[in-house]
Amino acid sequence: MFTSLDVVIPVYNSASWISECIKFVESTLERAGLKDSRVIVVDDGSTDNLRIVINNLRSQRVHLISQENLRSEEHTSELQSRVDISYAVFC
């Protein structure tokens, strides 16, 4: 049985909904007792105010990775090379 789970959310210009999504994921992780889990938001070159929205959440659990817009499955392999994770769910 594992006690943590990293939830990876790839996004592009998602400032309008990302806050609600992250709050839902965090509350679900808490209810499941996965207190050491992380929410990793992978910004695929957004041009909206996504970074500001993420920073305003002020959550220790949320980590933002920004990269240039790859628009393909390349961002999944790029993420795997940059983050050390044992268990992850890609949303």
Is residue 13 over pLDDT 70? yes
pLDDT of residue 14: 93
Q: pLDDT tens, 26-62? A: 999 999 998 889 999 989 889 999 999 999 998 999 9
DSSP 38: E
Q: Which amino acid is at 45?
A: G
Q: pLDDT tens, 75-86? A: 566 666 666 666
Say what the pTM is. 0.80
pLDDT grade for 68, boundaries at 50, 70 and 90? confident
Q: Which amino acid is at 32?
A: A
Sign, Cα dihedral of 55, 57, 59, 65: negative
In whole angstroms, what is the distance from residue 81 CA to residue 14 CA?
Answer: 23
Q: In what order do the strands lie in the sheet with 62-67?
A: 62-67, 38-44, 6-11, 88-90
